[in-house]
């Protein structure tokens, strides 16, 4: 076989930089998009943000039709040191008495203190600041270890005990339990320190008195007992709850209430009060300390009802409006091929591409959201039980786009409705057949299961087979294992664990 040249004709899809940018902006969330826009504004001088109250003009300015604005009187420096200069010129001719009389009460300065140093007072809101949000500027996540170390620093303790305490705190997991045994903690120390296991246990008891209650426990039983011991002595049923947590916690976990009543010699209503006290405790005390920063969701689309019609609109507050800077665009000369002019021409072209990509993103998001609302009017009117089956192919066929595009649009995009804020993917669900030949969405089935469990008899909770029978009575054909899968996705425990005393 010898090499040869062959001429062929064919079609090939090429990903241009403009198309790549449009696809990348399409799949960004609102917060990521705002960060992308901010980076574009900082790197491209041709882009500028449209401020509130200004007439929006997004048309491309002519390359040579812009005029440079002239500075006005309002742009002149606001601070003039005329009084200080006049005083400095005459200081040598004045006596001390006259000098003190000529000193003004308030000397003007070239700049304000807050302009140079970031003080705490400068970051506080003014009286008329309606957009001030205390939590967004002051909230900070705190780890469980830092919270315990802060309390340790306030406790009087020897250096040796403090070293033991720091080691024990490092062994506490995020749920608040001590992961290592006392023997393992003791063996971790240098033998020259001569630390005994009794010393480690004594320091552990001191840490267990820290907040939150029940911290540094070695098992669930100890965690509940630590919390019960911190309750007031006059708490009703406190002694019985301590006895139950100490001796019969396994029976409570198995929900063997008849055995509990027999061994503790309590009646049914009395045992219910004891169990209620146990259930008021926190089995994971470490979860009270939130170490992560709060996450906020900014809706991309707002849906509201007006005159019995559902209206869809983009969230203008989350969509910054951009335009080409007319002044800088006016500096671009069409026939100039210098390096500076070429750079400005490229920046102008990139600014136009970026604005066009944003417009395309908003138009696509609006089309998809409108079709979702059109399909899910029942959900907006009546709730989850009226959710209809919907897949990506249905929306893609309605708007004339590919399913991958619909998937990008609906990822990390949120819709604000009168029923709450939902991700666009929430409105998509599979379906099961009904006895009448129709279809029912999995979201609606989950809502029905949740409703059935909420209305069940606590003494005789519904089993998965019973729930499947009730759904079949409503014309929804669902297998028992499918009911179990939906129940687990809702975080609902099995019927054996949902049994309660009346």
Q: What is the pLDDT of residues 256-289, one digit of tens each?
A: 888 888 999 888 888 989 999 998 999 999 888 8
Hunting for tokens 């001429």 — which residue is that? 7
Per the structure block, which two tokens stand in for 370?
A: 């409108």
Structure confidence at residue 332 (pLDDT): 83
Single out the residue in 405, 427, 449 at which a domain terminates.
427
458 falls in which pLDDT band (50, 70, 90)?
confident
Specify whether 418 is located in the same domain as 438: no
pLDDT for 313-366, tens place per residue?
998 887 778 888 888 888 888 777 788 888 888 989 899 999 999 999 999 999
Supply the mean pLDDT for the chain.
Answer: 79
Helix (H) / strand (E) element for 422: namely strand 420-423
SS3 category, 364: helix
Structure confidence at residue 85 (pLDDT): 41
Q: Is residue 226 included in any domain, yes or no? A: yes
Specify whether 256 is located in the same domain as 374: no
Long-range CB contacts (within 8 A, 24+) of 419-424: 419/379, 419/380, 419/383, 421/297, 421/299, 424/301, 424/368, 424/369, 424/372
Q: Is residue 317 included in any domain, yes or no? A: yes
Specify whether 271 is located in the same domain as 257: yes
**DSSP assignments along 446-476, one per residue:** HHHHHHHHHTSBTTBPPPHHHHHHHHHHTTB
Q: Is residue 232 included in any domain, yes or no? A: yes
Specify whether 305 is located in the same domain as 411: yes
Range of the domain at 309: 301-427
Pairwise CA distance, residues 121 & 99, whole Å = 34
CA-based nearest residue to 430, from 419, 415, 418, 446 = 446
- Output b/e per residue, 426-443; b: 16+ Cβ within 10 A: bbbbebbeeeeeeebbbb
Pairwise CA distance, residues 489 & 470, whole Å = 19
Structure confidence at residue 290 (pLDDT): 66
Share of the chain above pLDDT 70, in %: 79
- The residue that leads in pLDDT, 205 or 90, is 205
Specify whether 325 is located in the same domain as 382: yes
Q: How many CB atoms lie within 10 A of CB 138?
A: 8
| 455 burial via Cβ count (<10 Å: 0-12, 13-18, 19+) | exposed
Pairwise CA distance, residues 371 & 362, whole Å = 14
Specify whether 273 is located in the same domain as 327: no
- The residue that leads in pLDDT, 233 or 294, is 233
pLDDT for 202-224, tens place per residue?
999 999 999 989 999 999 999 99
113 falls in which pLDDT band (50, 70, 90)?
very low
Per the structure block, which two tokens stand in for 201?
A: 């246990």
CA-based nearest residue to 144, from 166, 120, 176 = 176
Q: Is residue 238 included in any domain, yes or no? A: yes
Centroid of chain to Cα 26: 21
Q: How many CB atoms lie within 10 A of CB 374?
A: 12
Specify whether 352 is located in the same domain as 263: no
Domain total of the chain: 4
Specify whether 391 is located in the same domain as 456: no
Q: Is residue 104 included in any domain, yes or no? A: no
Q: How many CB atoms lie within 10 A of CB 120?
A: 6
Rg over alpha carbons for the chain, rounded to the nearest Å, is 35
Share of the chain above pLDDT 90, in %: 25
Specify whether 392 is located in the same domain as 463: no
Cβ neighbors of 442 (< 8 A, separation 6 or more) are 389, 429, 430, 431, 432, 486
Hunting for tokens 């440079």 — which residue is that? 68
CA-based nearest residue to 296, from 135, 409, 143, 417 = 135
Q: Decide: 302 and 314 in contact? Cβ < 8 Å.
A: yes
Specify whether 329 is located in the same domain as 419: yes
Structure confidence at residue 475 (pLDDT): 85
Specify whether 359 is located in the same domain as 415: yes
SS3 category, 17: helix
Q: Is residue 420 included in any domain, yes or no? A: yes
Q: Is residue 237 included in any domain, yes or no? A: yes
Per the structure block, which two tokens stand in for 205?
A: 């008891």
pLDDT for 363-410, tens place per residue?
999 999 999 999 999 999 998 888 888 889 999 999 999 998 899 889
Q: How many CB atoms lie within 10 A of CB 234?
A: 6
Helix (H) / strand (E) element for 154: namely helix 144-154
Cβ neighbors of 484 (< 8 A, separation 6 or more) are 464
Predicted TM-score (pTM) of the model is 0.62
DSSP 386: G
DSSP 316: G
Specify whether 467 is located in the same domain as 479: yes
Residue 117 confidence (pLDDT) above 80? no
Q: Is residue 188 included in any domain, yes or no? A: yes
């Amino acid at each position: 076989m010898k090499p040869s040249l062959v001429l062929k004709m064919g079609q090939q899809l090429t990903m241009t930089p403009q198309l790549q940018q449009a696809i990348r902006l399409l799949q960004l969330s609102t917060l990521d998009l705002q960060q992308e826009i901010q980076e574009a504004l900082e790197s491209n001088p041709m882009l500028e943000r449209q401020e509130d109250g200004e007439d929006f003009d997004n048309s491309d300015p002519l390359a040579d039709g812009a005029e440079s604005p002239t500075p006005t009187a309002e742009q002149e420096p606001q601070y003039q040191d005329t009084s200080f200069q006049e005083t400095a010129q005459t200081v040598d001719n004045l006596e001390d008495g006259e000098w003190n009389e000529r000193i003004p009460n308030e000397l003007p300065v070239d700049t304000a203190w807050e302009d140079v140093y970031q003080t705490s007072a400068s970051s506080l809101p003014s009286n008329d600041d309606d957009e001030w949000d205390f939590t967004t500027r002051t909230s900070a996540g705190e780890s469980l270890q830092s919270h315990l170390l802060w309390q340790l620093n306030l406790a009087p303790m020897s250096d040796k005990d403090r070293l033991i305490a720091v080691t024990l705190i490092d062994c506490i997991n995020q749920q608040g339990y001590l992961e290592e045994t006392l023997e393992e903690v003791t063996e971790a120390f240098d033998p020259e320190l001569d630390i005994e296991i009794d010393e480690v246990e004594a320091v552990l008891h001191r840490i267990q008195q820290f907040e939150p209650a029940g911290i540094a426990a070695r098992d669930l039983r100890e965690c509940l007992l630590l919390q019960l011991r911190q309750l007031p002595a006059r708490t009703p049923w406190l002694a019985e709850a301590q006895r139950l947590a100490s001796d019969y916690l396994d029976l409570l976990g198995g929900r063997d209430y008849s055995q509990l009543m027999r061994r503790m010699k309590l009646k049914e209503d009395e045992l219910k009060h004891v169990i209620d006290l146990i259930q008021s405790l926190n089995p994971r005390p470490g979860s009270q300390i939130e170490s992560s920063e709060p996450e906020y969701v900014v809706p991309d689309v707002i849906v509201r009802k007006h005159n019995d019609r559902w209206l869809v609109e983009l969230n203008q507050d989350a969509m910054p409006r951009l335009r080409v800077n007319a002044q800088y665009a006016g500096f671009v000369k069409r026939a100039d091929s210098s390096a500076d002019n070429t750079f400005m021409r490229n920046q102008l072209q990139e600014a136009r591409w970026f604005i066009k990509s944003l417009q395309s993103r908003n138009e696509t998001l609006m089309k998809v959201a409108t079709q979702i609302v059109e399909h899910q009017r029942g959900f907006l009117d009546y709730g989850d039980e009226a959710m209809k089956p919907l897949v990506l192919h249905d929306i893609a066929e309605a708007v004339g786009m590919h399913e991958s595009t619909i998937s990008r649009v609906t990822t990390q995009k949120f819709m604000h409705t009168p029923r709450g804020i939902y991700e666009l993917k929430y409105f998509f669900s599979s379906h099961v057949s009904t006895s009448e030949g129709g279809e029912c969405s999995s979201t609606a089935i989950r809502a029905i299961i949740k409703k059935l469990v909420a209305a069940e008899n606590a003494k005789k909770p519904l089993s998965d087979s019973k729930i499947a029978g009730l759904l079949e009575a409503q014309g929804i054909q669902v297998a028992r294992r499918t009911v179990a899968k939906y129940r687990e996705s809702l975080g609902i425990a099995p019927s054996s664990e949902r049994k309660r005393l009346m």
